[in-house]
Structure 1
Amino acid sequence: MLISTSENIAQHQIAETLGIVRGATVRAKHVGTDIVAALKQLVGGELTGYSSLLAGAREQALDRMIEDARAQGADAVVAVRIQTSTITRGASEILAYGTAVRLKPLSD
């Protein structure tokens, strides 16, 4: 499955647009992560607990989007975007979405 943030895939032509595909996950932070983050804010630096949490959430959202695209018979997903929103205090949704397409190679 080819994934692109652009509207095209190099050396391919979009033969058919199948529609919007999406994948989402909602993650909540752990109280231990909050304690470590509060201490880290005193001295500065990356909040690695949150970075790791969000990286995992992004991967899961992308994986779910790819599953949706495969179910529609897509070869690729173009114009991929990732969006984050707060659901409630301490919980966020990560949404990955794009356009599922079928490709054909460019003619010589």
Structure 2
Amino acid sequence: MIVVTTENIVGHRVTETIGQVFGVVVRSRGLGGNVMAGLRSLGGGEIKEYTSLVEDTRRHALDRLVQNAQLMGADAVVMMRFDSGEIGQTMNEVVAYGTAVKLAAE
């Protein structure tokens, strides 16, 4: 599955727009991770526990986006974007979204 952040894909042309597609993931860091992150924040710098959480969550959201696009019969997703936010103080939500399309070679 081709997933791009652009409107066009080199060597292909969009023959059909299927519609919006997305993948949503909500994750929570465990108590131990929150404690370690809290301790690291006292010293400043990168908080690796949260960086890892966000990276894994983005990958999972992108995987779900691809699965949903495949279910729709898409060949690709164009204009893919990520959005994220917090739910409460311990949960992180990540959404990968874009437009599912059919392609033909140029």
TM score, norm. by length of structure 2: 0.94
Structure 2 residues without counterparts, runs of 5 or longer: none
Whether 1:70 and 2:82 are equivalent positions in the alignment is no
Structure 1 residues without counterparts, runs of 5 or longer: none
Superposed CA deviations along residues 61-106 of structure 1, whole A, max 9, x for unmatched, are: 1100100100111110000011002222211211111000011111
1:70 partner SS: helix
| Moved beyond 6 Å, runs of 4+ | none
> 1:51 aligns to what?
51
Superposed CA deviations along residues 24-54 of structure 1, whole A, max 9, x for unmatched, are: 0101121211221122122222111111111
- Matches of 1:20 and 1:56 in 2, distance apart? 23
- Matches of 1:23 and 1:63 in 2, distance apart? 7
Q: RMSD of aligned C-alpha atoms?
A: 1.0
**Aligned counterparts, 1:13-92, within 5 A:** 13-92=13-92
> 1:6 aligns to what?
6
- Matches of 1:96 and 1:70 in 2, distance apart? 15
Give the number of aligned pairs. Answer: 106
Among the aligned pairs, what percent are the same residue? 42
Equivalent position amino acid for 2:80 in 1: V
TM score, norm. by length of structure 1: 0.93
